[in-house]
Amino acid sequence: MAKKVIISGGGTGGHIYPAIAIANAIQKLDQEVEVLFVGALGKMEMEKVPRAGYRIVGLPIVGIKRSLSPENLMFPFKLINSLLKAREVVKDFKPDVAVGVGGFASGPLLMMASLSGVPTLIQEQNSYAGITNKLLAKRAAKICVAYPNMEAFFSKEKLILLGNPVRSDIVNVVNKRALALTHFGLSEERKTLFVMGGSLGARSINESINAGLKKLVDLGYQVLWQTGKGFISNANESIKVLGTDRVKAFEFIYEMDLAYAAADVVVSRAGALSVSELCLVAKPAILVPFPAASEDHQTKNALSLTEQNAALLVKDHVAGNELVDKAISLLEDTDLQNTLITNISKLGKPDAAENIAKQVLRLIKD
C-alpha cells in the first residue's frame, strides 16, 4: 500500500521552498511515497508547487490583517470553510503523516489531520515561533526547528534541531561563478552586489537601491536585482535613464544558485529561508529585517547572525540613508568580507531537508 504525506503551508517563498525541499528529500529516500501539497488559494504556492512537479489543493484561508480592515470580518467564515475543506482533503487522501511548514495555510490542514488521528510534524523555520505553529504544537508528534533554545515555545521532548531545508542546488555554488556571470550577462572584471527582498519584493530595499543606483554604477560595481512584481517597472525605468548594462533587474529569479554564485555581497531581508541559504552559500550579507513580520521574527533571525559577527544589519527605517553606503563599504572591505564568510559558513546545515524527511518517514514506520 502506497505511503502518503501531506505538506501544508505557504504564502511566501520562505514557506514554499522549504516545503518543496522536504518533498524532494522524501521522494529521494523513498520513491513510493505520494506527496500532496495544501496551500492557500490565490497565493504563490498555487503556481510554484505545480512548477516543482507536485499536486496542490487550495484552501480559502486568509491571514488576519494587522490593521483594522473590513477583510477581517470575513476571516471566521473563511476559516470555517477551510477547516471543512481540509477535513475533506484528509478524508479523501488518507495521509500517513501531515507536515506543516508554517504560514496560515498550514493551520486548518494540520488541525483536521490531528483530529483524524494522523500524526503531524511541524517545521518551525524562525528563531521566534509563529502563532500557527504554537497553536498546533500541542498535538504534534515532532517539531523540527532551525535554531537552538526553542524550548521557550515548544515541549522539549518533541524538539529536534535540524536546520532549515533549502533547495539542493544551493548547497554547492562554489564552482558556478563563471556560469552565473554568463547567465546574467555580468562581467568577470567587476564586483557584483546581489539584492533580493524575498519572493514578493521589499519596498525599503528596492527604494534604497533605486536611489543609490547611480552611485553604485559610477563606482564601477554591477548589480543583480530581484525586485518582486511591484517594483520591476521602476527598476527598468531607472536602468533606462542611467543607460547602463551593469544593472540586471528581474521580477523573480528562479536560478537562485546562480544568483548567489555571482554575488560578492548580498543585500537581503532576514526571512528564515534567506538566512539559511546565506549560511550555506557563505556570502557576506547585509540584512534588512522586515519590521512588520509577525513577532518581529526577522530581526531575531538577523540577530542570530550579527551576534556571531556573521552578517551586518541595517534597520528598515534607516535603509534609505544607510543601505547603499554600507553595501559599498562592504564591497570595498575584503578583510570584513572574509570575516563574515568564515563565521557564516559555520552556521549552515546542508543536510536539513534529508534529516527532516527521515523524521517524516520514521513517523510513517512507527
Give the residue ranges of the annotated binding site. 12-14, 126, 167, 199, 253, 272-277, 298
Position of cell 533549502? 166
The one-letter code for the residue type at 72 is: N
Position of cell 515541549? 155
Q: Which residues contact 149 (CB under 8 A, 6 or more apart)?
A: none
What would the grid cell of residue 216 be? 553604485
Give how far the C-alpha of residue 229 lies from the chain's centroid of Cα atoms, to the nearest Å: 17
Please tell me the distance from the alpha carbon of residue 25 to that of residue 36, in angstroms, as a whole number: 14
What would the grid cell of residue 215 be? 552611485
Helix (H, G, I), strand (E, B) or coil at 195: strand
Please tell me the distance from the alpha carbon of residue 120 to that of residue 325, in angstroms, as a whole number: 47
User: Annotated binding site for UDP-N-acetyl-alpha-D-glucosamine, which residues?
Assistant: 12-14, 126, 167, 199, 253, 272-277, 298
User: Residue 54 gets which letter from DSSP?
Assistant: -
Please tell me the distance from the alpha carbon of residue 66 to that of residue 273, in angstroms, as a whole number: 23
Q: Which residues pair with 4 in a beta bridge?
A: 34
**Angle, helix 319-332 to helix 203-218, in steps of 10 degrees:** 50
Q: Count CB-CB contacts under 10 A for residue 27.
A: 17
What would the grid cell of residue 87 be? 477535513
C-alpha dist (Å) from residue 156 to 127, 135, 344: 15, 16, 27
For the residues of 161-185, what is the DSSP string, one character each? Answer: E------GGGS--GGGHHHHHHHHT
Spell out the alpha helix ranges (H) of the chain: 13-29, 45-51, 75-93, 106-115, 131-136, 177-184, 203-218, 232-242, 256-262, 272-281, 297-306, 319-332, 334-345, 352-365
Position of cell 537552538? 148
